[in-house]
Amino acid sequence: MGFAVELTLENPGPEPRQVRVPKGMLFEVQDPQLHVQNLVSARDYEFALDPYSTITVVVDAYCANKSLAPPSLTPMNVTPFVMLADPTSQQDVWQFFSPR
Amino acid sequence: MFAHALAGDLSRAGLGTYRVVTCEEEVRLARILFATSLTPPHGADLPERFARIRNTILAWQQQSDFPAMAKSCSALASARALTQSPSQASASAIPKWVLEEFSNCLLIDEELLTEGKGLHVLGFERLALQNCPPLLRHVIRDGLLEQSRELGLRAALRSLRNVPPPTADEDLPPTTVRVYCENTDDLYLLATRAYGDVPTGELGLGGRALLISLCLERNAKRVGEEVELPNASALGLRYRRRSGELTDRVLAQEIRVKSVLGRS
């Protein structure tokens, strides 16, 4: 697996929280004009956050844009979008997003 | 010629057309027109001041006065000091009514322009903007063909939805708008409009930059012809907010995204 997302999350409340990151979830490069690859979560993850705690987790990912430059500690955002497919390899993801 | 043109400009609230002959006259014209700033409509912030400078550069180098040979450029100078800090250098810093009124303009700081550093005519179809970065970059489109194209585009983009209503159970249908696009700047602006209903990163939750990026990549070889603006469904994406997933936790403000870094 060549790509990863380093995700730092905070639980600001008094209740413990479980958080799921689903397979196929997209992470975007904040500035699309940088021409850097967006990333896709490669599997399902679940994390537990204690009250008032912060954790940093690493999510294995695929790259979504074959023609762009790879990220290098590039600032990204979480997105509400997931792929309408169940990719099992990097090639699957590139094929999915390539123009049809 | 200038006095006559200025009178015409005043009567039409800054929307005159001018023949530019030299660099000096270009700058002079810019200075004159600052006196004809538009007044915001009712309800807008009155201290705002925006002036439109619109020039038609005729093909004087080819010694032609035929209007069909004219090439237009347009600039909007703002008294907001837009480029004072990087965080302000965004079209979002401009009231919506201004962006609609001046949709085909370069957008520049009035202060920089009045210092005489800003706008210079270099030759036929060429303008230089020195120390005066534009925030919006468009060619002017005020012919009948361009106006009807813009109206058609607005109607088409209204049908392009990417985020379903909160109560919707089903995905939005795949929709693709096809439109002629001149260059990559034009494509970027089109994509920004096409994905205007998608979050931009507040709370660490975005999506718009992703769709723009996929759209730019998909159309990389089509610039200069008809490009495709697919909605999220047509790009193979589903907007998903499921209980317990990160998106849902962030929107409910139960979890904060402190940082997201991509690496390879």
Is residue B237 within 8 A of residue B175, CB to CB? The reply is: no
pLDDT of residue B155: 82
Top mean-pLDDT range of A89-93, B88-92, B108-112, B150-154: A89-93
Nearest CA-CA partner of B240 in B255, B251, B254: B251
Cβ–Cβ below 8 Å for B240 and A80? yes
Top mean-pLDDT range of B7-16, B55-64, B98-107: B98-107
The structural domain count of chain A equals 1
Nearest CA-CA partner of B240 in A83, A87, A58: A83
pLDDT of residue B106: 53
Q: What confidence tier does A34 reach under pLDDT thresholds 50, 70, 90?
A: confident
For residue A76, pLDDT over 80 is answered with yes
Helix axes B23-33, B2-11, angle to 10 degrees: 30
The SS3 call for residue B257 is strand
Nearest CA-CA partner of A17 in B242, B256, B241: B256
pLDDT of residue B171: 80
Mean pLDDT of the region B47-76: 41
Is residue B6 within 8 A of residue B32, CB to CB? The reply is: yes
Is residue A86 within 8 A of residue A23, CB to CB? The reply is: yes
Helix, strand, coil percentages for chain B (3-state, nearest 5): 35, 20, 45
b/e sequence A21-41, b meaning 16+ C-beta within 10 Å? bbbbbbbbbbebeeebbbbbb
pLDDT in tens, B65-87: 333 333 444 455 555 554 444 44
Please list the residues that pair with A8 across neighbouring strands: A56, B259
pTM equals 0.62
Domain range for A72: 3-97
pLDDT of residue B186: 81
Interface of B with A in 192-251 (CB under 8 A): 199, 201, 204-207, 209-210, 212-214, 216-218, 220, 232-233, 235-242, 244-247, 249-251
End-to-end CA distance of chain A: 26
Write down the mean pLDDT value for chain B: 63
More confident of the two residues B23 and B247: B247
For residue B42, pLDDT over 80 is answered with no
Rounded-to-integer distance, Cα B177 and Cα B157, Å? 7
CB of B164 less than 8 A from some CB of A: no
Mean pLDDT of the region B163-167: 83
Angle at the Cα of B187 (from B147 to B73), degrees rounded to 5? 50
Mean pLDDT of the region B213-242: 89
End-to-end CA distance of chain B: 61
Distances (CA, A) of A74 to A6, A32, A77: 10, 12, 10
Nearest CA-CA partner of B77 in B43, B30, B116: B30
Query: Measured between beta carbons, which residues in chain A are less than 8 angstroms from residue B212?
Result: 32
More confident of the two residues A11 and B38: A11
Q: How far is A95 from chain B (nearest CA, A)?
A: 11
Largest CA distance in chain A: 48
CB atoms within 10 A of CB B62: 10
H-helix segments, chain B: 2-11, 23-33, 96-101, 110-114, 144-158, 184-194, 208-218, 246-251
Q: What confidence tier does A20 reach under pLDDT thresholds 50, 70, 90?
A: very high
Which of B137, B257, B263 has the most A C-beta neighbours within 10 Å, making it the best mutation to test the interface with A? B263
Rounded-to-integer distance, Cα B188 and Cα A37, Å? 17
For residue B201, pLDDT over 60 is answered with yes
Cβ–Cβ below 8 Å for B239 and A65? no
| Token pair for B57 | 């550069």
